[in-house]
Amino acid sequence: MAAELDTYNLPDTAIPVGSTISSVKVSAWCGIGEYILQPGWIANPNGYFRIAIRTHSAVYYGATHNKIVDWYVLIEDTWATNPNTGLAWTIAELNALEIGVELRSTTFTKIGIVKAIHPAFCTQVYATITYTEPVAGKGMINKFNRTTTSPRREL
């Protein structure tokens, strides 16, 4: 069974120009359907979840999460810099960023023949952007740390 990748556009950020973006964290609530393993069946450990981001037309993946047995789990990955450039994120890159998840369902076999598919699913994916906003005052710059979270996408 092939993996499936879904990425989603985010609304433009309201982060002020001149802010320093510290990180982009993408979170997703994923899970696997409930099953009862019948005698003679073998669960193949080939299902997985992983966070994906698309920046500069290239897809980058977070860690692979496999052997998930809970109904729902929160998976998260953080990028301190843009993986395409190796530099700090820019507001323009955030406005063009797509976030998502790649899923692969677990299969079950009996006597070497795939007989059933244990579906993987994702119900929510969202981004949390951590940044420092510069505020000018009396000839110096004061910095305030802020975090913003994208609207949650219900899948």
Provide the pLDDT for residue 2.
75
Q: With pLDDT > 70 as the criterion, what percentage of the chain qualifies?
A: 66
pLDDT value for 34: 59
Distance, CA of 138 to CA of 154 (rounded, Å): 45
CB atoms within 10 A of CB 145: 10
Distance separating alpha carbons of residues 84 and 139, to the nearest angstrom: 36
- Ranges 8-12, 120-124, 140-144, 149-153: which has the least confidence: 140-144
Token pair of 112 as six digits: 């070497």
Residue boundaries of the structural domains of the chain:
4-154
The domain defined by 4-154 folds into Jelly Rolls (2.60.120)
Report the distance separating Cα 155 and Cα 150, nearest Å: 15
For the chain, give me the number of helices (H) and strands (E)? Answer: 1, 13
Q: Is 85 helix (H, G, I), strand (E, B) or coil?
A: coil
Residue 119 near residue 105 (C-beta atoms within 8 A): yes
DSSP 14: -
The pLDDT tens digits of the residues spanning 70-84 come to 567 899 999 999 999
| Per-residue confidence (pLDDT) for residue 139, from 0 to 100 | 39
* pLDDT for residue 140: 38
pLDDT at position 107: 64
Is 98's pLDDT higher than 70? yes
pLDDT tens track for 1-48: 578 899 999 999 999 888 999 999 999 998 776 565 666 666 665 678
> What share of the chain in percent tops pLDDT 90?
45
* Average predicted confidence (pLDDT) for the chain: 79
Q: What is the C-alpha to C-alpha distance for residues 81 and 44, in angstroms, rounded to an integer?
A: 35
pLDDT of residue 63: 94
